[in-house]
Amino acid sequence: MLYQIRHRTHYRYTQPLRSAVQTLCLTPRDSDAQRVHHWRLDAPVPLQVQTDAWGNHSHVLALGAGARALLCEATGQVETHGHALHTDPHGPDPRLYRMPSPLATADAALRDAALTAVQGLDPEDAQERALALLRLVTTHVAYHAGHTDARTTAAQVWQGGAGVCQDQAHVLVAACRAVGLAARYVSGYFHATGASALASHAWAQVCLDATARRWLGLDVTHGCVVDARHVQLAVGPDYAACAPVRGVRSGGGEEQLVVSVSVDIWPPGRSAA
């Protein structure tokens, strides 16, 4: 499926900035699950291109003194192939993703639930165990906005039983790590007709073969393996490591942030079937 994607991020400040540095993880990679037909990232100043520690294409933006707004826009077309399994040669050894991270660490309650969910399953069958944990988290953590924020941890979400896609992904990643599976957080896009709030999306990936770098995508929000509706943007141990836009600033007073994302089938009028 071919999608036209537009991701607009607009910061406004009540006072002039003294300085600001932002890292933009807004450029998808080609893989055996998707192909980037073209992609453009527009910003008010020149961007420094880099590959981060997790293998993502990223850009660094530095604003000088005096600015009172920052507008970044990513646009392009990406074709998805509907593969839940894909090979990723980029980034560190997948086994690094067995380590806990600040937003995706299991507490005792989540760890016990995860271990119970995989009890009796073949310890060598990573896919069967991962799917059992997907069912566990899908059942226990409902999609509900307004209960969490960007700093909410997997343990807090498990206790509260609700969150948005970011939170659901964190819980699944933490549960997988609790039973010894390498798992990572994925930011990206999702095509959902009539549900624009889900256009910017997050899910998890579990490594089935560290040597071959084979990853299985799992989407708690939709209770499914990743399919042609998903466009991968960036990966990391958790959201904090691969947020689409993150950074620091000096000055500026109060900040207002407006984000708009659209994911449309291309050409217009084409059926998703």
pLDDT score, position 241: 95
Is residue 90 located within the same domain as residue 38?
A: no
Residue 90 domain boundaries = 85-242
What's the DSSP call for residue 242?
Answer: H
Is residue 158 located within the same domain as residue 228?
A: yes
pLDDT score, position 271: 63
Residue 225 DSSP SS3: strand
Is residue 53 located within the same domain as residue 101?
A: no
pLDDT score, position 112: 98
236/170 Cα distance (integer angstroms): 11
262/191 Cα distance (integer angstroms): 9
Assigned domain for 182 exists? yes
Whether the Cβ atoms of residue 86 and residue 203 lie closer than 8 Å to each other: no
Assigned domain for 270 exists? no
Is residue 74 located within the same domain as residue 164?
A: no
Q: Over its length of 273 residues, how does the chain's per-residue pLDDT go in tens digits?
A: 999 999 999 999 999 999 999 999 999 999 999 999 999 999 999 999 999 999 999 999 999 899 999 999 999 999 999 999 999 999 999 999 999 999 999 999 999 999 999 999 999 999 999 999 999 999 999 999 998 999 999 999 999 999 999 999 999 999 999 999 999 999 999 998 776 667 899 999 999 999 999 999 999 999 999 999 999 999 999 999 999 999 999 999 999 999 999 999 999 866 655
pLDDT score, position 268: 82
pLDDT score, position 55: 96
pLDDT score, position 198: 72
Which residue, 127, 126, 129, 164, is CA-closest to 144?
A: 164
Assigned domain for 237 exists? yes
- In this structure, the number of other CB atoms found within 10 A of the CB of residue 272 comes to 11
Q: What is the pLDDT of residues 167-206, one digit of tens each?
A: 999 999 999 999 999 999 999 999 987 766 678 999 999 9
Is residue 58 located within the same domain as residue 93?
A: no
Assigned domain for 272 exists? no
Q: What is the pLDDT of residues 41-77, one digit of tens each?
A: 999 999 999 999 999 999 999 998 999 999 999 999 9
Is residue 51 located within the same domain as residue 134?
A: no
CATH code, domain with 64: 2.60.40.2250
Assigned domain for 48 exists? yes
Is residue 114 located within the same domain as residue 49?
A: no
Assigned domain for 273 exists? no
Number of separate domains in the chain:
2
Assigned domain for 271 exists? no
Is residue 103 located within the same domain as residue 89?
A: yes
CATH code, domain with 158: 3.10.620.30
pLDDT score, position 195: 65
Is residue 40 located within the same domain as residue 105?
A: no
Is residue 113 located within the same domain as residue 150?
A: yes
Is residue 98 located within the same domain as residue 63?
A: no
Is residue 46 located within the same domain as residue 66?
A: yes
Q: Which residues pair with 265 in a beta bridge?
A: 3
Assigned domain for 130 exists? yes
